[in-house]
Amino acid sequence: MQTPPRHGNNFDIIRLAAALVIVVSHAYVLQIGYAAMPATAPLLLVGYAALAALFTISGHLIPLSWLAQPDASRFFWKRSLRVLPGLVGAVLFTLFLIGPLTTTFSPEGYFSALFSGAVATLPFFEDGSTLGLFVANPVSFVNASLWTIPVECTMYVLVVVLGLLGVLRKKSALLVLIAANLILWLAVYHDPALSKVRFALYFLIGAYLSIHHPHLRYDGMTAFFLALALVAAAGTPLCSFLALVAIPYIVLWFAGLPVPALNRFGTHGDFSYGVYIYAYPVQQTIVLFLGPSLPLWTFCLLSIGITFPFAYLSWNLIEKRALGLKQVDLKSVRSALLSPD
């Protein structure tokens, strides 16, 4: 089974659009704070839909990578190259550029806290107070976007486990996992933090469709009516359940549209990951220096305008170079690392 050709679909433009929508959604939240945020606010729901789209795409593509090359070492090597180098760059950017500029601590106090181990004890992206970051902002997180990365990596491990057990191609295995995840979500539905488990469902649904229904035809009219139904259900409990059907269908329908201009969108680079991991601390810095009362559209334009150059540099200086090592001879790497010389 082969993975889809990189420029034979529209996943690149969907990923970037979803990342930008999340920036807009976060702009709304970071100005008013999570406590004042209505659970059914349209911008919040749109942000959730964008995140669901990203997990759907990941679920659709990642298992195919395993099936094309079912080797655990190679799989984790490729996944690490996609996630870790860019992430390390964003963390260093946050801690050594944004941190010293925005902390309420003295320079000595900031770096003392940074190297004291407090950051590892309480992850800095969950609470900036450990480093004196954004404590006066409506939200004190430094980079809340990073919560999705452990979830994504857990899905990678799951793919390998299913692959090694020889059940990744079995419909029953993924259907049981989808059902179990759905039951877990229902059990924690009323807890906003734990209910995020539902995003793993989108990965699993994307995986099920790509492996077991690779030739399914997605119809534009069906996608349109599903989108209408999703909008009509917004703000009701039905919306979250309908989204499990509607979002994967709409994403995969759009991804398959044979529009050359859209298919070639990512020829100059995939900036979606950089936008996603850099935007939140950039937005927090804007709120800190310019206040939370900027017109939302101004805040969004500033957020995107400042973030995008960092995403561009991240792709060209870090991510693209790292991905160039995907097919390196791992035996040679191991030998070099283990060599006493």
Give the model's confidence band at 129: pLDDT under 50 very low, under 70 low, under 90 confident, else very high.
confident
pLDDT greater than 70 at residue 1: no
- From 59, 70, 65, select the one nearest 178 (Cα to Cα): 59
Q: What is the mean pLDDT of the chain?
A: 90
Tell me which amino acid residue 114 is: L
Residues 6+ apart with CB under 8 A from 200: 55, 151, 154, 155, 181
Looking at 28-136, which runs of residues are DSSP E strands? none
Give the count of beta carbons closer than 10 Å to the beta carbon of residue 276: 27
149 contacts 120 by C-beta, under 8 angstroms: no
Q: Is residue 4 part of a domain?
A: no
Residues 6+ apart with CB under 8 A from 271: 16, 19, 308, 311, 312, 314, 315
CA 158 to mean position of chain CA atoms: 17
Q: What is the pLDDT of residue 262?
A: 87
Q: Provide DSSP, 112-137.
A: HHHTTTHHHHS-TTT-GGGGT-STTS
Q: Is residue 313 part of a domain?
A: yes
Give the model's confidence band at 126: pLDDT under 50 very low, under 70 low, under 90 confident, else very high.
confident
Q: What is the pLDDT of residue 89?
A: 96
Q: Is residue 3 part of a domain?
A: no
pLDDT (average), residues 19-46: 92
Tally the domains of the chain. 1
Q: Is residue 197 part of a domain?
A: yes
pLDDT greater than 90 at residue 117: no
Measured between alpha carbons, how far is residue 310 from residues 68, 93, 112, 289 in Å? Answer: 33, 9, 27, 19
Q: Angle 42-68/198-212 helices, nearest 10 degrees?
A: 40
Tell me which amino acid residue 199 is: F
Measured between alpha carbons, how far is residue 165 from residues 155, 173, 209, 281, 297 in Å? Answer: 15, 10, 20, 40, 50
pLDDT per residue over 171-186, tens digit each? 999 999 999 999 998 8
- From 254, 306, 256, select the one nearest 279 (Cα to Cα): 306
pLDDT greater than 90 at residue 77: yes
pLDDT (average), residues 211-240: 93
pLDDT (average), residues 266-285: 95
Integer Cα distance of 111 and 27 in angstroms = 29
Q: What is the pLDDT of residue 36?
A: 85
Q: Is residue 106 part of a domain?
A: yes
pLDDT per residue over 285-330, tens digit each? 999 999 999 999 999 999 999 999 999 999 999 999 999 998 887 7
pLDDT greater than 90 at residue 104: yes
DSSP secondary structure code for residue 314 in this structure:
I
Q: Is residue 6 part of a domain?
A: no
pTM of the model: 0.92
pLDDT greater than 70 at residue 335: no
Q: Is residue 2 part of a domain?
A: no
Q: Is residue 42 part of a domain?
A: yes
Q: Which domain holds residue 327?
A: 11-335
